[in-house]
Structure 1
Amino acid sequence: MAKSEIEVSYRLRNSETNRRNGMEMNAVNGKCVQNWDKYMYTLCIFLNNLAFGMTCSIFYPTMVDMKYIFDTSMKDISVSNTFGSIGYLLGSLFGFLYKRINRQMTTIVLLLAISISIAVMPFAPTLWSLYLCSFVTLLGGGAWNAAHNVWLIEMWTHTSAPVLQFSQFMYGLGCILSPLLVKPYLTGELPTNHTVIPNTTITTTVPTITTTDINHSIDRRALLKTPFITDGLIQAFIPIVLLIMFFVKRYEFSKPILQPKESSAEYGVENFDVYGTNGHSEESNVIEISDSYHRDRRLNAVLIAIFLANYTALELAHFGYSSTYYQFIGLRLSASESAEIFSIMASSFTIGRCVSAFIAIRLKPKVMISYHFIVIGVALTVLYFGQTSERLIWFGNVIIGFGFSAVFPAIFAFAEQYIKVNDKISTVLVFSSASLALFTPFILGPFLENNAFILIEYEIVFFTASVLLFVVILFIWTNWVTTKEIQSSLFVKYICGDSSGGDSVGDEDIESLLESHENCVQLL
């Protein structure tokens, strides 16, 4: 047996004992998750992300029409995004309650609430009722994002990175379909004044010439009812399926249980049996985790949360306001043209997520984040200098869509390498992701009509902050956290080799094994 002064948060994974007869170390009703259960729940998550992508992106191309429906300004319409962000923040807090309430049933109820609120949005009689619909929609959205990422990580453990990427690919696919669904029903910003000369007979009297604003002469509310109701029906499908699954094969996750096996005065720690959810004992390779690990874990969570907040503010600003931005820049693109640009960006975004699902198998999350940031930087440069060229606008959106595609799920996979992403951590991350976006409408809303270019300047600011935070996190984790863990004074006893008893390994071998995420599983 080797004695090592290494503080660790992982135990070596014995694939033969953890995977028996095609069954994973997760539990449904106290039993191991069989493959069909895992695949069925994963499929439900994928399809609901498709529907949720449609729901999240259907409102943005309609903001100009909503302005005229409620006879208000872009500033007031933008406030609906603030109420949505508040709902998203509160919804993410449901992650703290999943130890007391059933996660699956809570998710079902909130997803049904999303479908109802999005379907009735065009029927809202007042501006405040529109705000309420936005609040309820993203209340469910925050709870969904806090739940489904952990759900996938629980089911797929160390292979979750490509699954998370493909899940976000389905979200991106919904972002493509939504503008295509709503495009035929958009009116957008029409020429402000329209001169009307009434029919006259031959007379010496000069006919009266009137000037009217034709933007108020179109029943935009009636036009938008069809796409919003359609989206609401699509959004309601998966929660109904999950409700059926709840009664047929309910999902529950059970952690492995650590129990003392024997004490060892030689090493100063206890050896443990690990009892999996199937009740069989397994050899444990990591015995104890000290308080300093938990302090580092909290630090890592805070750093990731701040990083995610800045990046999400950048991405949501472009997704939320770019369709409006193109209608108010010098080119004055129509609502249909703006929706087409949004759809092309969403297509690039979705293709990027599909590609990233395979790239994530080979590349580490930090590498993926790095090169996607380079792509985003190029795209913002094109959009900054190409605002007077429609071709450059199209090109810039194709690039930025691909740049955005992998970053959000890669951040979760990046965090999973250093902290265990459970319900609480996921709640903190999802909550933080909407914290800065909460203030975006107050910054962009008042200026977008008269100074639309503020959108690109706003995005550049948060992109720069995101890059700097990412560099700081890499520096800290590389030069402080890792060194502190490796040089800990904690003695850890390892049972190495196969379960029948193999050769022991030394410190260098253990360190090399710990560097390989595929060979390890987090123990918390």
Structure 2
Amino acid sequence: MVEMQYIFQTSMTMISLYQTLETVGYIGGTFVGLTYGYLNRQLVVAICFIILAIVTALLPIVPNLPMLYVCSVISGFCYSVIQCSYTVWTVELWPTSSAPVLYIEDFAYGIGSTLASAILKPYLTGKVAADIVVDRRAKLMWPFITIGICVILVPLSSLIMYLIKPYKQKHCNRREQCSIGQSSNYGDEVMPTNTTANDKLFDRSDTPQTMMRVLFIGWCTTVSSLSTEFLMFMFTYMQKSPVQVSPQTCSDIMMAASSVYTVFTIVNAVLTVRVGINPIIYGYYAIVVVAACILVIGHYYLTALWVAAILMGWGLSAMITGLYAFTAKYFTFTNQLSTGIIMARGVCKLFTPVIIGQFIDDHSYVFLIVEWIYLMLSIAIFLPIIWLIRRYENLVVK
């Protein structure tokens, strides 16, 4: 974001509007998840992924701020469509073992993040003296295009698979029992016909289904917002903090965090098979809390920033995917539920970047305050979720 601020010669507040308008597109994209009873999900995701890769690759050569904002809406819309789809799709394909597969998908994301940071590092300039002229556009153009070419290979392969052997969803009517991983005629949602002993806990009619869905959506939203704001603003925060970290050192720190994140996604996949998702969530939640505490110390000490970023990468390696696996354990994960989570997350993203962007230049600690607000809200929602799970599990046993 610092590089874009200098490219367009504007304030951090105006550049942060990119994130806000991206969220507008993000919220709009959530509604596409409700149309998969009529549209082919594989084709829609492939097309949106291709558009996202192209728009991202061309960011350094966007001529002005209005065009940058248009790109932000497009990228937000496409990213939302992808995110609303892939979790439900994964759970549908692997209904009884989705958590390890989701962690493997996160492993791929971690590799991509690490490689992207490594590619961009030599081309970052950061803040320089007023009399030094740097053509930041020319420096960033080719690394962005390189990243875009690498990314676009994934949706192109999916599009080719669609043309060769398209994925077809199975359908059943309301009077038939739909197994997990099958869809119904009603918006691609699994429609259990009655409550049985094999139903997931909060699919049962004798549990507070609506309240639990609201709680789970709130929990997923706050955890996702915590991770999103960390990834979105950590790089900028380190440069604006009293430590005034150089762009190259920021890249090293984020590469280290991404590497730890990547390695532990594989560890988490194995651990989930062995011990289950619940202990993973509890343990890694503690790591995130410790990382947030050290991040406060890092406001004045570079070593603490290194430790905090690495610990946060470790903790988030389980939390980002784990919250979906944890939710899918107690609900039938449908397009509607996924859309609710993504939409709620989008609403939070609509305001947070504006707040951080407006104050981070002169009051970088605002980033820390926002991170802690999301962390404490997530814990405040998670504790009653755990209590209700244990309560209704005991009632079912009785």
Specify if TM > 0.5.
yes
1:316 aligns with 2:228: yes
Q: For residue 372 of structure 2, what is the aligned residue in structure 1? A: 460
Q: 1:319 to 1:258 in 2, by over 3 A?
A: closer
Letter in 2 for 1:97: T
1:115 aligns with 2:53: yes
Letter in 2 for 1:66: M
Q: Deviations over 1:190-217 (max 9, x none)?
A: 24xxxxxxxxxxxxxxxxxxxxx135x2
CA contact (8 A) 1:297 1:418 kept: no
Q: For residue 387 of structure 2, what is the aligned residue in structure 1? A: 475
Cα distance in 1 for partners of 2:357, 2:15 equals 8
CA contact (8 A) 1:314 1:463 kept: yes
Letter in 1 for 2:165: K
Query: Aligned-pair distance for 1:273?
Result: 11
Q: For residue 248 of structure 1, what is the aligned residue in structure 2? A: 164
Letter in 2 for 1:214: D
Structure 1 alignment gaps of length 5 or more: 1-62, 192-212, 261-271, 278-285, 487-507, 512-524
Q: For residue 131 of structure 2, what is the aligned residue in structure 1? A: 214
Q: Deviations over 1:16-59 (max 9, x none)?
A: xxxxxxxxxxxxxxxxxxxxxxxxxxxxxxxxxxxxxxxxxxxx
Letter in 2 for 1:359: L
Cα distance in 2 for partners of 1:382, 1:367 equals 23
Cα distance in 1 for partners of 2:356, 2:259 equals 25
1:383 aligns with 2:277: no
- Residue 289 of structure 1, aligned match among 180, 185, 195: 195
Q: For residue 164 of structure 1, what is the aligned residue in structure 2? A: 102
Cα distance in 1 for partners of 2:22, 2:258 equals 21
Percent sequence identity over matched residues? 28
SS at match of 1:118: helix
Query: Aligned-pair distance for 1:472?
Result: 1.2
Q: What pairs up with 1:300-315 in 2 under 5 angstroms?
A: 300-315=212-227
Whichever structure has more strand as a proportion of its residues is 1
- Residue 237 of structure 2, aligned match among 304, 325, 328: 325
Cα distance in 1 for partners of 2:204, 2:159 equals 42
Whichever structure has more helix as a proportion of its residues is 2
Letter in 2 for 1:239: P
Letter in 2 for 1:115: A
Cα distance in 2 for partners of 1:143, 1:353 equals 23
Letter in 1 for 2:90: L
- Residue 406 of structure 1, aligned match among 310, 313, 318: 318
Q: Deviations over 1:244-296 (max 9, x none)?
A: 11121110121567868xxxxxxxxxxx899x99xxxxxxxx97339972973
Q: What pairs up with 1:200-279 in 2 under 5 angstroms?
A: 213-214=130-131, 217-255=133-171
Letter in 2 for 1:113: I
Q: 1:381 to 1:259 in 2, by over 3 A?
A: closer
Q: For residue 443 of structure 1, what is the aligned residue in structure 2? A: 355
SS at match of 2:169: coil
SS at match of 1:104: helix
Cα distance in 2 for partners of 1:258, 1:384 equals 53
Q: For residue 180 of structure 1, what is the aligned residue in structure 2? A: 118
RMSD, aligned α-carbons: 2.4
SS at match of 1:157: coil
CA contact (8 A) 2:227 2:320 kept: no
Aligned residue-pair number: 382
Q: 1:418 to 1:133 in 2, by over 3 A?
A: same
Cα distance in 1 for partners of 2:178, 2:295 equals 58
Q: Structure 1 length normalisation: TM-score?
A: 0.69
Q: For residue 248 of structure 2, what is the aligned residue in structure 1? A: 336
- Residue 131 of structure 1, aligned match among 58, 69, 77: 69
SS at match of 1:388: coil
Q: 1:116 to 1:288 in 2, by over 3 A?
A: same
Query: Aligned-pair distance for 1:111?
Result: 1.0
Query: Aligned-pair distance for 1:305?
Result: 0.8
SS at match of 1:445: helix
Structure 2 alignment gaps of length 5 or more: 183-191, 197-202
Query: Aligned-pair distance for 1:138?
Result: 2.3
Q: For residue 6 of structure 2, what is the aligned residue in structure 1? A: 68
